Structure 1
Amino acid sequence: MSPDFEKGGGLLPAVIQDSLTGKVLMLGYMNAEALKQTEETGKVTFFSRSKDRLWVKGETSGNFLMVKSIAEDCDKDTILVKAEPQGPTCHTGADTCFDEANSNPITFLNHLRDIIEDRKNNPSDESYTASLFKKGINKVAQKVGEEAVEVVIEAKDDNEDLFLNESADLLYHLMVLLAHKGYSLDDVVKVLEGRHKK
């Protein structure tokens, strides 16, 4: 990365985006020193124009923004930081500085996918997920089949709790099966998108 700080008179806008939900959390400004400190500490650091100094987001509140990735735009005059917020981002207590809720239940699936991949690559004896990978593809596929049957059975009744729990079990085991085969839900979504375009 080689942002052009001279283009912005020493300061460039830094867009902070939640790495999990994709929501824009805030906009700040960085100089070269702020960017360097952000990279070194893993905590988003800005140059405060009002205080005329470096400012670590969360230094007072404890609501740090933990860096996941940093990129620059095509013109090298804007920085994009994907981060994990450690609490509300705005000083008002709102999730974002644009007063938007920073939530999307579907994005939890990305977090679950990462956990499943971690259990696959770093197995432990205490992990149910790791034990499934250890038992092999046939056992994982069998579990998907069993859970699918249970979803069908519960769909015929009116017990919302049981139906939703069995649906969650099915989705989880399907994600494990996909990971076992080297895929993820992203690959399934691409197929659905392709069908939608036809």
Structure 2
Amino acid sequence: MNTPDIKFDEKGLAPAIVQDAVSKEVLTLAYMNEESLRKSIETRETWFYSRSRQELWHKGATSGNTQKIVDLKYDCDKDAILVLVEPAGPACHTGNYTCFNDSLLGEAATEVTSDRFAILNELEKVIAEREAEMPEGAYTTYLFDQGVDKILKKVGEEASEVIIAAKNRSHEELKWEAADLIYHLLVLLREQKLPLDDVLSVLQKRR
């Protein structure tokens, strides 16, 4: 990708939408000029231009919350950039996983949708937030802190519990154990930086 392809505005800037490459959550909106875009391409980490300080800044240089770039895309008009990243911590200066936390629609935006699998999207988002923010006392934080071996152990344990519940012909027991297995599997996918969408695409191809 050549930086001259991008149509920067009269101030030499283009909006950069930063998205988690795994959970697909939009993390923040920043701005890039030609130099910061070039540095982002060269280092494969996000560099932006601060409009308030009027200088380049390397995301995570002081906080450690860097963003590893998976892909850089631009829109059909070539005046906006989409940055797909693997974040090493919160994207927001407040310490939140994403800068987009407040809804203009209020409670209306949280109503249950007709998508019966929406909970999987929500769970994937929450797990991504836990990995980025690492809130003390959260079980998901504990799993990430312990590492892949602990996560794998839990996946194995929950898979065994599912087998036992099925052998017992207990629907009540099975639904709880299956839920535990799905949760721990999603934690494992996050630890491995493998999007759930990739797994679903395999199922679609097999179909």
TM-score for both structures, normalised by structure 2: 0.56
**Residue 147 of structure 2 aligns with which residue?**
none
**Residue 3 of structure 1 aligns with which residue?**
6
SS in 1 for 2:73: strand
CA distance in 1 between partners of 2:71 and 2:93 (Å):
23
Indicate whether 1:156 and 2:170 are aligned: yes
Which residue identity is paired with 1:24? V
Deviates more, 1:157-166 or 1:67-76: 157-166
**Residue 144 of structure 1 aligns with which residue?**
none
1:65 deviates by 1.1
Q: Deviations over 1:98-118 (max 9, x none)?
A: 127xx843578xxxxxxxxxx
In the alignment of these two chains, the number of paired residues is 142
Assess, with a 3 A threshold, how the Cα gap between structure 1 residues 158 and 57 changes in structure 2: closer, same or farther.
same
- Find the partner of 1:105 among 107, 123, 132: 123
RMSD over aligned Cα, in angstroms?
Answer: 3.7
1:159 deviates by 4.0
Identity of aligned residues (%): 38
TM-score for both structures, normalised by structure 1: 0.58
**Residue 87 of structure 1 aligns with which residue?**
89
Assess, with a 3 A threshold, how the Cα gap between structure 1 residues 36 and 11 changes in structure 2: closer, same or farther.
same
CA distance in 2 between partners of 1:84 and 1:8 (Å):
31
1:152 deviates by 3.5
CA distance in 1 between partners of 2:13 and 2:180 (Å):
52
**Residue 29 of structure 1 aligns with which residue?**
31
Structure 2 contact 19–84 (Cα < 8 Å) conserved: yes
Structure 1 contact 155–163 (Cα < 8 Å) conserved: no
SS in 1 for 2:64: coil
Where structure 1 has 5 or more consecutive residues not aligned to the other structure, the ranges are: 109-147, 173-182, 193-198
- Find the partner of 1:62 among 61, 64, 81: 64
Q: Deviations over 1:154-198 (max 9, x none)?
A: 552654598438966xx99xxxxxxxxxx9532434788xxxxxx
Which residue identity is paired with 1:38? S
Larger Rg: 1
Where structure 2 has 5 or more consecutive residues not aligned to the other structure, the ranges are: 103-120, 128-161, 187-197
1:61 deviates by 0.8
